[in-house]
Amino acid sequence: MVDRAHKPSAISASSTGPQPQVDISADNSKVTAKLPTGDSVEVLLYGATVISWKSSGQENLWLSQKAVLDGSKAVRGGIPIVFPVFGPPPQNHATSSLPQHGFARSTRWEYLGKSTSESGALSRGGDDSVKLDFGLSQSQLSPESRKAWPYDFSLVYSVTLGKDGLQTMLNVRNEGRESFEFQMLLHSYFAVKVAYRGRWAAADGVEQNISRVSISGLAGTSYIDKVLDATEHSSSSPTLSITGETDRVYKSLKQDTTSILQDDKPHLDVVRDNLTDTVVWNPWKEKAKAMGDFAPDEGYKNMVCVEVGSVDGWQKLEGGDTFEGGQLVKSHI
């Protein structure tokens, strides 16, 4: 059990009108929350991976049809949590024995509880929100992970579904005396669909064209292009079109919001909170095909990863200190 100062506590709900619903699946693998508006979020305890977020009846996250959800492999899609290292760990660093992207996405977390709030105008169903908290600490790690990264830490991940959108915040605490360094990132796979006859076409539907998707808000000092041998470039344009394999780490971004545009219209806004970096990733045709858990093959046309994080250098936490960072995602659908 993760110990912390602000444990979630149920705020008493008024007796009138519908209220947010929270359900734990019978096999204890997944927590689902639904607002009276119909908006919903599903979180797998494995990795505390958000695997679905629906608003206005539309799915905002992309989940591979071959995503492994039984806890034997990190989920291909949704929002896997990257901690305590991003990408392949560097040699000669305390994380060097960990797998790519660390252990948080491939360890079962504990569901700590929910808190709900409503405006009082429940019948309108518009102002409700529900927060789900998940915890992971050193004692829950596999012996291999504990050995590879022997620090006394605790993570609390808060997933809040409200009228503004979906907020996901990661709180990292050093429970020990020795300082440690970490990176963290919320590896969000967003669903992109292209307008078709005035409606949003289904993910595998008639028209698929990632080339009509662009990302704005990327003005920063520089970015690392992993497709070009991890060379550093200065970002000349604040907008990026996805027209081929894309794997860029934007560092020290100036503005808080990175938006996904479809046909130049805002689709999703990703607002960073206390995080300066953003990774934009699309594997494109060949790499998508090469991934055993990526399906359908053409799925790369319906997704883009916009991943907020702290991955440029390391965050250092002294014993007893905490760090919190995350995102608020707003859908324009």
Chain positions contacting ligand BG6, by CB under 6 A = 74, 87, 100-101, 187, 226, 247, 279, 281, 307
Are 192 and 302 in contact by the 8 Å Cβ rule? The answer is yes
Nearer to ligand BG6 among residue 200 and residue 294 (C-beta) = 294
Nearest distance from C-beta of residue 107 to ligand BG6, angstroms: 15
Q: How far is the CB of 184 from ligand BG6 (least distance, A)?
A: 12
Buried b vs exposed e over 124-134: b needs ≥16 C-beta within 10 Å? Answer: ebebbbbbbbb
* Sign of the CA dihedral with 189 first, then 194, 198, and 200 last: negative
Taken in order 97, 100, 106, 109, the sign of the CA dihedral is positive
Judged by beta carbon, residue 74 or residue 328, the one nearer ligand BG6 is: 74
> Tokens 């519908």 appear where?
18
Alpha-carbon gap, residue 227 to 142, rounded angstroms = 33
CB closer to ligand BG6, 105 vs 173: 105
Q: Which is nearer to ligand BG6, 61 or 74 (CB)?
A: 74
Token readout for 38 is: 């119909």
Q: CA 263 → CA 129, 215, 248, distances in Å?
A: 31, 11, 22
**Cβ at position 266, least distance to ligand BG6 in Å:** 23
Catalytic positions:
187, 307
Smallest distance, ligand BG6 to C-beta of residue 245, A: 10
What's the helix, strand, coil split of the chain in %, to 5? 10, 45, 45
